[in-house]
Structure 1
Amino acid sequence: MSVAKDTNIPFSRDSLEQLLKRRFFYAPSFEIYGGVAGLFDFGPPGCAFQNNVIDAWRKHFILEEEMLEVEATMLTPYDVFKTSGHVDRFSDWMCKDLKTGEIFRADHLVEEVLESRLKGDKLARGETIQEAKEDEDKKKRKTKVKDIKNVKLDDEVVAEYESVLAQIDGYSGPQLGELITKYNITNPGTGGKLEPPIEFNLMFDTAIGPSGNLKAYLRPETAQGQFLNFSKLLDFNNEKMPFASASIGKSFRNEIAPRAGLLRVREFLMAEIEHFVDPEDKSHPKFAEVKDVKLRFLPKGVQESGSSELVETTIGEAVSSGMVDNETLGYFIARIYAFLVKIGTDPSRLRFRQHMSNEMAHYASDCWDAELQTSYGWIECVGCADRSAYDLTVHAARTGEKLVARKTLDEPRTVEEYEIEIQKKKFGPKFRKDAGAVENWLTSRTQCELEDLSKELQEKAKIEAEIKGIDGTVQLDSDLLKIEKVKKTEHVREYTPNVIEPSFGIGRILYSIFEHQFWARRDEAERGVLSLPPLVAPTKVLIVPLSNSAELQPLVKKVSSALKKEKIPFKIDDSSASIGKRYARNDELGTPFGITIDFESVPDDSVTLRERDSTKQVRGSIDDVIKAIKEITYEDTTWAKGTAGLQAFNS
């Protein structure tokens, strides 16, 4: 259901945030104790909206793509995240005011300050009053830039700032430090000087058990639980490849400076997919179904040139040209687009931004973020990455478990692989009680690692290694083992799957939808409306009896029972307020339909059906009205088609 919004009132973030708080979509946690930044509680409409989005996600991905859903624990031992790389690399760069101790996230600070200077330049060049007002509204950003100064910049400086902003996601900590120095960026609130950026690991650490000896973290993502259960999932799927697992659950990140509502929080809901695929065949059987979907892309080459101009093309052309790495990655990008539009994002404010070369994770072969435009700028809401074989490989190497898939070959093939030959008679006496640990370490090496060890053995006649559980460096001389390439015939190919990972930040998506669908009725700034799609709206129907007359009560019960039978969420508003006020209150909650029961309903069981955005009304029997609601809400039918059998009604 999509109806044009009849408004002449510009968007106001303040009005939206007041509505969301007043109607208790969500509110700061522990608010009566002063609150804690980055933590929020969801109220009744917020819970219902989030649950409806998750239900739509499950049907769109898990059901349609036949995925295997898993739920893993949020507490994760240190060794898991040390192996995955999170302990060493899951960080952001922060800088501190030398005088006040105030903390800023470095990339956000640079972005905010340069944007504010560019806005000041635009004002100095004679922007309209409305444009100036909109820029003033945007001052309440992550770093709280106090004043947008009306100062004209040189054209070269403007171009330089715009180039930096186009590449802001790709700068390292030292590079951000250089920008802070070069552009004389200080604390926006006090003007105080800042320390150079330092790394801050975003994981919350804890301990498992009363002794505190088992160090652990609250997970920053749901992915690792899926990787560690790969063999079980493959077995459950009857060893068939490719397949996908999915997980929905809470994750935690100790954000440096969470100042943007649901967009940057410390506890949040994620929905992640891990699609395991043969590295030699990343085609997708359903790619033809989406190849003509036209999307807006921001490729890495465009960003690295200092531009943010979008490339509009089909996903089929993007894959065939090599801009998107493979069909499976492209298929999920198109499916992400379809999902986001279905639940209420504005397609004209949605783009896919490719990670730049210096921003890409070291193991990823390609990565695209679905970004949604809000009053806070372009916000990453979904990441879609080809993580190659990294995760399964490192966990297999660390644990000695074989996290592999097998494929029976049509014809046998000859392959060359590195193999280890251990001289057992010398090996045992040499290492004694540590022999098993050393042998396990050797046999768990990947082919790439064996190649490096073979070279080391040839060049130095020994291998030196740090092995967990053994003090000091272990030395393996050439008389103890050989590592050589050998030819062998394979009837079954064994391989480590690659992983395509779409990762959804649910809170960010919810907030972006609020901004995309919030508006005020023409000439009535106080009459806010949330045009949430019926599929995800917290409540689908408001039942409005014209009065509290006992004569109408049986019909209220009859309509309520019929909606319950069809599992359609509803509310009854039989307060003394006028019908207009009752509808206005529920327009704020995103309720798409209203059923009015009046005295004309008594003799023939007819009721009036109101549509939220257009306020159009039609009339028909209770059964026909509920049938129309069900078709529009759950069967993707338009208002015109769903109400074709009902009579137009003018109050």
Structure 2
Amino acid sequence: MSVEDIKKARTAVEFNRENLESVLRGRFFYAPAFDLYGGVSGLYDYGPPGCAFQANVVDQWRKHFILEEDMLEVDCTMLTPYEVLKTSGHVDKFSDWMCRDLKTGEIFRADHLVEEVLEARLKGDKAARGISEADVEEDADKKKRKKKVKQIKAVKLSDHVVKEYNEVLAKIDGYSGPELGELMVKYNIGNPVTGEALEAPKAFNLMFETAIGPSGQLKGYLRPETAQGQFLNFNKLLEFNNSKTPFASASIGKSFRNEISPRAGLLRVREFLMAEIEHFLDPEDKSHPRFHEVKDVKLSFLPREVQEAGSTEPIVKTIGEAVESKMVDNETLGYFIARISQFLLSIGVDETKMRFRQHMANEMAHYAADCWDGELLTSYGWIECVGCADRSAYDLTVHSKKTKQKLVVRQKLDEPVEVTKWEIDLTKKLFGPKFRKDAPKVEAHLLNLSQEELASKGEELKNNGKIVFKVDGVEGDVEMDDKFVTIEQRTKTEHVREFTPNVIEPSFGIGRIIYSVFEHCFWSRPEDTARAVLSFPPLVAPSKVLLVPLSNHKDLAPVTAEISKLLRREKIPFKVDDSGVSIGKRYARNDELGTPFGVTIDFESIKDGSVTLRERDSTKQVRGSAADIIKAIREITYNGASWEEGTKGLAPFVSQSETETETE
């Protein structure tokens, strides 16, 4: 089987999600948590192959990013005090929009509800227009498909309405709560089962709240992301890096989000593994020294302007062209987008099912300079799996302001420069009599004003003879005149430049990536559709080798033990299957586990020490000494060699029973 033949075979049988989920759960890649007690929505346990696959993906992530980019890894606590997440904005803004059926109490996530109802209506329109069932329900087998099509109300929509629905679906990630409510009213979207009207969407904070300590007075949350620990350790990381920038930190760990309506298996869960990078750089220089290495990487982009036009047709161009045209804001952001794509391809993502979608204006945080989501196409649609954002200096700035601690880089200048800045002088002796116990809070507030805030207050003081402002923890407005405060611009000569670095943040949802790879790697053999295959790249496959004695004959046991010893010495994960079933069945059930290689031990092995090596996808076999076979496995698995390159010194193997064995 050639590479082209394998590609044809992988697409010959229509993808079936139910078959995939049957394999994943049947082989215990993962399963619902607390299954004996009926399970809890959005929580899953990984079994042995799932654990191994996840560990291999994380290992590849570490090598691809932390080692190759010389990043500083940290492991921060999952329990986070209220004040930290209040400062970062999560307490006020980390929400999704939910709507409730007041009669049944059922809760829906508003954007998902609008999306699902409009998609169902479009499918009904296709059914009414006589479009084939395969186009109406692409993700189901024939029997199931017919059942689903009957459940869809076949109603023909006007061309204008079809266009409107498609435009809404193209922009679904960018709508606010009130806008979703307007769509629900406009398109008469209610409870999809009962048809009852739903209350207007309300914001629901996704963080799990808890109390730290026995008194319950220290309020906290389970972290919704790993980023905040990296920001709070910035000064320590900067010192560890000899006070040099740019540099990047990285963290891998569990995060928690109390999803409104968990669905789609591993794609939307309440506890999940994240891998995040915070790349700290000079706001005046966002170039990247290694950008030239990736500038020719071609990617599919879905920029803001295309989405706003109601289209989902991607633009294909190199990352170099995207940065040069300013479609992608800067080199460092572009560099990481390209590196993200390379990582995803290395673990088994289908290149044709990957795109980078730019956040629309109403979707992007106010402080962000640019943001792109790495999305992967699954049977559930396009799924956001990686976010890559230029977060400007927001995080370090808000934490610095709250804690009154400087989170800055001090850079010695080659030549001194004259700098004009706003400065504030306080007549502190007047603060005590006027503000009493609140004096320290008022003083701290004024001393932590930004240049923009000082400029505004300076103008206010000049025009009104006084300034009025609010201070956290102080009741009412604070007012003071020019006897208390002086605000003016001054020019000074500086020998050190002090700046708050900007942050480029690639953020990976490992579970979503893993599930997408499951779908991209799953196929059924055309000659026997009951035989499923997971074509994981050898690098991330849970186990690399299936060791198969031809029979249970006692004479084969010493050879099996010797080859097992060699594989252990080479640190190559393997399994021995000496069960009594046929070799064909043993290979077939390990194809479902994604095992890329099979090593068969037969009676010739006893005579000359030779064994047979089988490749999972093509079922090609070669013969050679155990040492040469293991060398080939290592070259293909860990050094990136192709099957042809890795086995070029081995003899092709064809036996009379080969066809029979593979189809048993």
Range of TM-score over shorter length: over 0.9
Structure-2 change in CA distance of 1:627 and 1:332 (3 Å)? same
Aligned residue number for residue 549 of structure 1: 553
TM-score (norm 1): 0.97
For residue 4 of structure 1, what is the aligned residue in structure 2? Answer: 7
Match of 2:521 among 517, 524, 530: 517
Contact 1:112/1:145 (8 A) holds in 2: no
Name 2:447's counterpart in structure 1: 443
**Amino acid corresponding to residue 172 of structure 1 in structure 2:** S
1:259 is displaced (CA, Å) by 1.3
Query: 1:69 and 2:69 equivalent?
Result: no
Q: Which residue of 1 aligns with 2:305?
A: 301
1:457 and 2:461 correspond:
yes
- For 2:465 and 2:610, the matched residues in 1 are separated by 92
User: Per-residue deviation at 1:351?
Assistant: 0.2
Any residues of structure 2 matched to 1:10-21 within 5 Å, and which?
A: 10-21=14-25
Closer/same/farther in 2, CA of residues 101 and 491 from structure 1, 3 Å limit:
same
SS of corresponding position for 1:127: coil
In structure 2, the residue corresponding to 1:73 is in which secondary structure? coil
The answer to whether the 8 A contact 1:146-1:188 is kept is: no
Match in the other structure for 1:647: 651
**Residue 331 (str. 1) matches residue 307 (str. 2):** no
Question: Could you tell which deviates more after superposition, 2-11 or 329-338?
Answer: 2-11
Structure 2 counterparts to residues 180-219 of structure 1, below 5 A: 180-219=184-223
Q: Is the 8 A contact 2:272 2:510 kept in 1?
A: yes
Distance 1:90 1:460 in 2: 39
Q: Residues 278-311 of structure 1, C-alpha deviation per residue, up to 9 Å, x if partnerless?
A: 0000000000000001100000000011111110
Q: Secondary structure at the match of 1:47?
A: helix
The residue matched to 1:134 in structure 2 has which SS? coil
The more displaced of 442-451 and 50-59 is: 442-451
User: In structure 2, what is the equivalent of residue 422 of structure 1?
Assistant: 426
Distance 2:284 2:162 in 1: 46
Match 1:411 to one of 404, 412, 415 = 415
C-alpha distance in structure 2 between counterparts of 1:17 and 1:95, whole Å: 30
Taking the aligned partners of 2:17 and 2:411, their CA distance within structure 1 comes to 55
Q: Which amino acid aligns with 1:4?
A: K
Matches within 5 A, 1:336-485: 336-485=340-489
Instruction: Answer whether contact 1:145 1:189 (CA < 8 A) is retained.
Output: no
AA aligned opposite 1:618:
V
Deviations, residues 612-641 of structure 1 (Å, cap 9, x unaligned): 001000010000000000010011110000
Between 452-461 and 199-208, the greater mean CA deviation after superposition: 452-461
**Equivalent residue of 1:6, what SS?**
helix
1:42 equivalent in structure 2: 46
Deviation at 1:432, TM superposition (A): 3.9
Quickly say closer, same or farther: Cα 1:472–1:140, change in 2 above 3 A: farther
Provide the C-alpha distance between the structure 2 equivalents of 1:649 and 1:427, rounded to a whole number of angstroms: 91
Structure 1 CA distance, aligned partners of 2:134 and 2:288?
48
Cα displacement (A) at 1:435: 2.9
Rounded to whole Å, the distance in 2 between the matches of 1:37 and 1:239 is 46
Evaluate the alpha carbon distance shift between residue 452 and residue 408 of structure 1 in structure 2; reply closer, same or farther with a 3 A threshold.
Answer: same
Provide the rounded CA distance (Å) in 1 between the counterparts of 2:456 and 2:25: 59
Structure 1 unaligned spans of 5+: none
Q: Does 2:31 align with 1:27?
A: yes
Aligned length: 649
Aligned to 1:531: 535
RMSD between superposed Cα atoms in Å: 1.9
Work out whether residues 17 and 139 of structure 2, in 8 Å CA contact, stay in contact via their aligned partners in 1: no
Q: What SS does the aligned partner of 2:96 have?
A: strand
1:502 CA drift (Å): 0.2
Mapped partners of 1:139, 1:163: distance in 2: 32
| Superposed displacement of residue 151, structure 1 | 1.6
Displacement, 1:37?
0.4
**Structure 1 CA distance for aligned equivalents of residues 314 and 102 of structure 2:** 40
Moved more, 421-430 or 411-420: 421-430
Contact 1:207 1:216 in 2 (8 A): yes
Q: Which residue of 1 aligns with 2:169?
A: 165
- Structure 1 SS opposite 2:362: coil
Equivalent in the alignment of 1:247: 251
1:217-296 superposed matches below 5 A: 217-296=221-300
Which residue of the other structure, out of 554, 564, 574, is the alignment partner of 1:560? Answer: 564
Displacement, 1:145? 11
Q: 1:153 to 1:138 in 2, by over 3 A?
A: farther
Is the contact made by 2:418 and 2:494 (CA closer than 8 Å) also made in structure 1?
yes
Q: Which moved more, 1:144-153 or 1:439-448?
A: 144-153
- In 2, Cα distance between equivalents of 1:413 and 1:633: 55
Corresponding residue for 2:661? Answer: none
Query: Deviation string for 1:396-439 (max 9, x for gaps)?
Result: 00000000002222221111111111113323333344433332
**Partner amino acid for 1:418?**
W
Cα displacement (A) at 1:138: 12
CA distance in 2: counterparts of 1:490 and 1:247, whole angstroms: 36
> Relative to structure 1, is the Cα distance of residues 59 and 135 closer, same or farther in structure 2, using a 3 angstrom cutoff?
closer
The Cα of 1:514 is off from its aligned counterpart by 0.4
* Pairwise CA distance, 1:133: 4.5
Query: Contact conserved, 1:546 with 1:579, CA < 8 A, in 2?
Result: yes
Q: Deviations over 1:347-369 (max 9, x none)?
A: 00000000001111111010000
2:659 equivalent in structure 1:
none
Kindly indicate whether residue 618 of structure 2 is the aligned counterpart of residue 614 of structure 1.
yes
In structure 1, distance between residues paired with 2:545 and 2:367: 48
- Aligned match of 2:658: none
2:662 is aligned to none
Letter in 2 for 1:171: Y
For residue 253 of structure 2, what is the amino acid of its counterpart? Answer: G
**What is the one-letter code of the residue matched to 1:644?**
K
Deviates more, 1:58-67 or 1:128-137: 128-137
The one-letter amino acid paired with 1:599 is: F
Which residue among 307, 314, 317 is the counterpart of 1:313?
317
2:575 to 554, 558, 571: 571
Q: For 1:325, what is the secondary structure of its paired residue?
A: coil
Q: Using the alignment, how far apart are the partners of 1:633 and 1:543 within structure 2?
A: 16
Aligned counterparts of 1:38 and 1:184: Cα–Cα separation in 2: 29
Q: 1:120 is matched with which residue: 103, 117, 124? A: 124
Aligned counterparts of 1:133 and 1:301: Cα–Cα separation in 2: 30
Local SS of the residue matching 1:417: strand
Looking at structure 2, the residues matched to 140 and 399 of structure 1 have their Cα atoms a distance apart, in angstroms, of 58
Corresponding residue number in structure 1 for 2:108: 104
How far apart, in 1, do the equivalents of 2:137 and 2:176 lie? 34
Residues of 1 paired with 2:316 and 2:527: CA distance? 36
Q: Does 1:150 align with 2:148?
A: no
Query: Are 2:89 and 1:85 equivalent residues in the alignment?
Result: yes
Q: Give the whole-Å Cα distance in 1 for the aligned partners of 2:560 and 2:7.
A: 31
TM-score by length of 2: 0.95
The CA distance in 1 between the partners of 2:88 and 2:219, in whole Å, is 15
Paired residue type of 1:620: G
- Provide the rounded CA distance (Å) in 2 between the counterparts of 1:377 and 1:149: 21
1:550, distance to aligned residue in structure 2 (A)? 1.3
Tell me by how many angstroms 1:149 deviates: 1.8
> Which of 54, 57, 62 is residue 58 of structure 2 equivalent to?
54
Distance 2:432 2:509 in 1: 52
Unaligned 5+ residue runs, structure 2? 656-664
> What secondary structure is seen at the aligned counterpart in 2 of 1:126?
coil
Identical aligned residues as a percent: 70
Q: CA deviation at 1:523?
A: 3.4
- In 1, are the aligned partners of 2:128 and 2:154 still within 8 Å (CA)? yes
In structure 2, the residue corresponding to 1:117 is in which secondary structure? Answer: helix
CA distance in 1 between counterparts of 2:422 and 2:309 reads 43
* Corresponding position of 2:660: none
CA distance in structure 1 between the aligned counterparts of 2:24 and 2:150, rounded to whole angstroms: 25
1:214 corresponds to which letter in structure 2?
A: L
